[in-house]
Structure 1
Amino acid sequence: MVYREMETDAEMAMFVKCFWMSDSQNDEGIHTVLPDGYFDLIFYRIDNNLNRIFLTGTWTIPVDVPFTKNTSHFGIRFKLIASEYIFRESIERIIDTSTNLPLHYWNVSDETFENLETFSIEMGRIIERFIPDYTEIDRRKFSLMGCLYDNHGDISVAELSERVGWSSRQINRWFNNQFGLPLKTFANILKCHHAYRQIAQGRFIPESAYYDQAHFIKEIKRYTGYTPKELFELKNDRFLQLSTHDNG
């Protein structure tokens, strides 16, 4: 299995975390996707032919994904704000699941999947067409999501509310209606995702986002199903998200 990610440019980064691809080559098995605080548009190919396009919701649980020989996935990992401003719809109904899209979605050609670089360029051009004018943007929402991602979820509701001028009730109502989960859950997932890097490097002492060792272990296991040590031991066999953090 080969897995790669490619970061995006500054303007696109408001909406997109990265472009990615996986290629099973001659391998078969299962990899586990861990909650990360994003959602994905994924193009699935069998023997170099497009077989399925689907949109995932936000994962709050680990999900096992089987892969077989000669299959590949090309994906776009979106920040949650993209659901409202790029897709123009709520992803509340697909939390912890996915929905199939027609094979002509975005009218993508076979040449798009030549490699990750080509995919990122072509997808970038398409996404740029959907980016709204600044006059259409609710700056409170962008400020809110920016604070959450920049702080990896380690910021209090009170501080968020003060920074963006939105009450905690308004924030939670928007989160539940638009994304299908409360703010606290999303923040905890971002903390967990941020901890993957240190876990991948074999460091099991919690950083400031967690009260103590017991709290760290409990929260990691809540969202991944494994303790930090178990994740580290299985990182190269099951968890692509950990293997990409191995050297970073």
Structure 2
Amino acid sequence: MKYREIEPNGFLNNFVKCFWFYETTTEIQHTILPDGYFDFIAEFENDNLTTVKLTGIWTKPKEIQISKNTKLLAIRFKLLAIEYIFKKEIKSILDATVNLSFSFWNIDKYKSDEFERFITEISNNLDTSIKHLKQIDNRKLKLFDFVYEQKIKTVAEISKKVFWSSRQINRYFQTQFGIRLKEFLNIVRCNATYEEISNGNLNPNAEYFDQAHFIKEIKKYTGVTPKELSQNKNDRFLQLSKMDEA
């Protein structure tokens, strides 16, 4: 398995977590863990484009089977992108995926080994698209910055900081993403532990009350204990495997 990721520069960083490339020469089964993002993925088998899809937000582990000789060109998006770049909601594909046309964003013009070209051209197109947007709600920019950077931990604190009521925030999350902000915060917090777990640190950080709470939350979103995650037999948990490859 080969994996690479490149983070964007400038204002695009508010919408895109990273561009990523994945390759396997053997058939492999992975478990995708909730991480607080959604992905745009172009899948190639034997260098032929076979699928273009958009994932929803994962709130539970997802088992996937990847065929041999598969390459993926992909973009990991922050939630703000669904409203301002895709101009739609994503709640209808919560814990699911939707197939897109091969011509979406002209993906069918790329070859499976053109990751750098993919990054450059899609970045330029997204930058141009963002420049033509109407004014972006500054409350939402601040909200997602607080969440992804884990600067603020609770819905009440975020509400005060962005001057947006908790009720309105949760209505926005339910309408756009199909989940409440509190659950999303829990998913982001869980995702932040994956690197420590991959390094063998099975003790909870300050974000969890105690060891029992840590194990319960990790198992809720991954289906297994922190110890099982850390072992990551046969590269089962893709996010942890990616950390080893990066």
Q: Is TM (by shorter chain) over 0.5?
A: yes
| 1:28 counterpart residue number | 27
The answer on whether the counterparts of 1:85 and 1:132 sit within 8 Å (CA) in structure 2 is: no
The answer on whether the counterparts of 1:197 and 1:246 sit within 8 Å (CA) in structure 2 is: no
Q: Distance in 2 between matches of 1:116 and 1:235?
A: 28
Q: Secondary structure at the residue paired with 1:129? A: helix
Which residue type is aligned with residue 81 of structure 2? A
After TM superposition, give the deviation of residue 116 of structure 1 in Å.
2.5
Structure 2: runs of 5+ lacking an equivalent: none
Q: Distance in 1 between matches of 2:115 and 2:228?
A: 31
Q: Secondary structure at the residue paired with 1:244? A: helix
Q: Distance in 2 between matches of 1:13 and 1:188?
A: 22
Q: Deviations over 1:123-160 (max 9, x none)?
A: 212212321457521101111111111117x5111110
Equivalent residue runs for 1:1-248 within 5 Å: 1-25=1-25, 27-111=26-110, 113-133=112-132, 135-151=134-150, 155-234=153-232, 237-246=235-244
Cα 1:92–1:202, aligned 2, differ >3 Å: closer, same or farther?
same
Which residue type is aligned with residue 151 of structure 1? Q
Q: Distance in 1 between matches of 2:187 and 2:220?
A: 10
TM-score by length of 2: 0.94
Structure 1: runs of 5+ lacking an equivalent: none
Q: Deviations over 1:41-82 (max 9, x none)?
A: 110111111111110010001111111111111110000000
Q: Distance in 2 between matches of 1:167 and 1:104?
A: 40
Question: How many residue pairs align between the two structures?
Answer: 246
Identity %: 47
Q: Distance in 2 between matches of 1:235 and 1:131?
A: 41
